[in-house]
Structure 1
Amino acid sequence: MYYLIISLLFLFTLNSSALAEENLFNSYAAIKEETIRVKDEAGDFLTTPVDTDHYGLVGTLAVVGATGLTYVFDKNIRDEVQSTKSKTLDKITDVGSFIGEPLLHIGIAGTVYVGALLAESPKYQETGLMLGEALFLADASTLILKESIGRERPFIGGDKGRFNPFQFKADSDSLPSMHAASSFAMASVLATTSEKFYVKLLYYSAATFVGFSRIYQDKHWASDIVLAAAIGELSGRVVTNYHATHARVAIAPMLSGNSTGLALVGHW
């Protein structure tokens, strides 16, 4: 959140021509457009898992199967991971838990968006929007599931099958992991905007490391992470697909040498 506050301070104190264009901070039309987009993306997020035309239902069944299979071995995985405890891993996984903090991700999305406005970069402005939208879908859906399912965290009693739905307690909101869902949503968006395989691998490796860190710290069961990863990936794909299929194209004046004319300008 600190990063978001700093970004907003820059936005309102810096005198830059980049801020003259319509954006979420100075235009009702831009806010309205963003609201409609998020609403449409939320609809896609809800319908994609049951979509039979594009294998959405197949993906859902695969996620359910993977989560269920992991659930069977949750206690074994927990015991195995806890047996690797060391001071070095304690410090490393503290970093993993920190970089998976959902509020930090929101701050990063805001920083990317504001920085792109200042740098007059439509590409990264769009990236900032996509990150924010994907995080909204992932965090909101995860929060609803957490409180509805009410799974007890492993460090409480070590019983993987203890559920306390709608108790709204921090100790009973293990499934799914918001740290992991948020991290995979970020990874999905950033990987889509990158053309290099090793960069994509880096993003997903970081998200996976966050998931491992949460298991290592005994905050989550392994199946919490599996479901969260699927939610994050779905959020990222829904958002990037929506932006790809709703790219805006406009006609703008063009000056080239001694010639003038019109050009098609795309905004992604």
Structure 2
Amino acid sequence: MKAAVLLFVFVLISPVFGQEVAQEKEKNLWNHFTYDVGNMFGGVGYAYSRPVHWKGNDWANFGYLTAGTLLLFTVDDELNDWKNGFRQDIPDVVMDYGHEYGSPENNYMLTGGVYLAGLFTQNEKLRRTGVLLISSATAGGFLQQVSKRIIGRARPKSGESSDTFDPFHLNRVYNYDSFPSGHAMLAFSNAYAIAKQFKNPWVKGGIYAIGLVPGFVRVMDDFHWVSDVAFSTVLSIFIVESIDRYLDSKYDEKYNDNPKQVSWNLSFGPNTLGLSLHF
């Protein structure tokens, strides 16, 4: 008799207990989602506010970035003429990948997919990666869209030289929106953030190489000058590192214990100019 009563009670409360577990899981998903969205916006704000807090090394890095960009600017026309000599040798599959991967809609499909995978599997490390990807793409994407309109640099395909500008347009003026490169910035932001998951330098290098393809392709197809892509690639590193530092205070899961910093080294010599970037 007692066994029958216990069985009856168990059958009675099982649906209620299961429903409570399902509700608790749903609640956790919603809490994680709202927390992560807050960190996405917080990361963007943190990245934009960093110049106010820059110190000696930060200003030095910014100076190196500016100097490197200006040096490339002086040879942009020559580099553009030089690359025309082997443009036809680039496989179509590489060109198609470069144009498609760096586009905003495909970028957010990738970053959103990574984040949702982490959210629904309750994997904090993957969630954090998704947050880093989305915030970095948003910070870099908005910045480059505003910069294009302010700077108004002519694209190579416009037929103008690299020092031609038509600045300060509220509406985007196509063929005068070369600097910086949105494709290069979005693609390398993704590559740099994903590579943080790995410690093996060969794996990192392979991911970086894939992330550099869109910028290379945009130069090959006369959408950008070399200095546009170089500046955008380095700036994307700064943005990712800044937001990742912010997320260190928001999540327990960290990729590795490597310091989050970027260092430069400029070297000069007879008929030579060298620039190395360590990250």
TM-score scaled by length of structure 1? 0.78
Secondary structure of the structure 2 residue equivalent to 1:172: coil
Matches within 5 A, 1:31-180: 31-32=37-38, 34-44=40-50, 46-47=51-52, 51-53=54-56, 55-86=57-88, 88-167=90-169, 168-180=172-184
Name structure 2 gaps, 5 residues minimum.
Answer: 1-21, 255-279
In 1, the alpha carbon distance for the partners of 2:96 and 2:149 equals 25
CA contact (8 A) 2:114 2:130 kept: yes
Decide whether aligned partners of structure 1 residues 235 and 190 sit closer, same or farther in structure 2, where only a CA change above 3 A counts: same
Q: Aligned-pair distance for 1:89?
A: 3.2
Q: Residue 229 in 1 paired to residue 233 in 2?
A: yes
- Structural RMSD (CA): 2.4
TM-score scaled by length of structure 2? 0.75
Larger radius of gyration: 2
Give CA deviations for 1:101-131 in whole Å, capped at 9, x if unaligned. Answer: 2321122111111111122211101100010
User: 1:209 corresponds to which residue?
Assistant: 213
Q: Residue 20 in 1 paired to residue 22 in 2?
A: no
Decide whether aligned partners of structure 1 residues 69 and 118 sit closer, same or farther in structure 2, where only a CA change above 3 A counts: same
In 1, the alpha carbon distance for the partners of 2:102 and 2:229 equals 12
Secondary structure of the structure 1 residue equivalent to 2:87: coil
User: 1:10 corresponds to which residue?
Assistant: none
In 1, the alpha carbon distance for the partners of 2:233 and 2:89 equals 27
Matches within 5 A, 1:187-206: 187-206=191-210
In 2, the alpha carbon distance for the partners of 1:180 and 1:16 equals 43
User: 2:224 corresponds to which residue?
Assistant: 220
User: 2:9 corresponds to which residue?
Assistant: none
Decide whether aligned partners of structure 1 residues 139 and 30 sit closer, same or farther in structure 2, where only a CA change above 3 A counts: closer
Which amino acid in 2 is paired with 1:68? L
Decide whether aligned partners of structure 1 residues 123 and 73 sit closer, same or farther in structure 2, where only a CA change above 3 A counts: same
Q: Aligned-pair distance for 1:178?
A: 0.4
- May I ask how many residue pairs the two structures share in their alignment? 231
Give CA deviations for 1:64-114 in whole Å, capped at 9, x if unaligned. Answer: 111111111101111111111226534422222222223211221111111
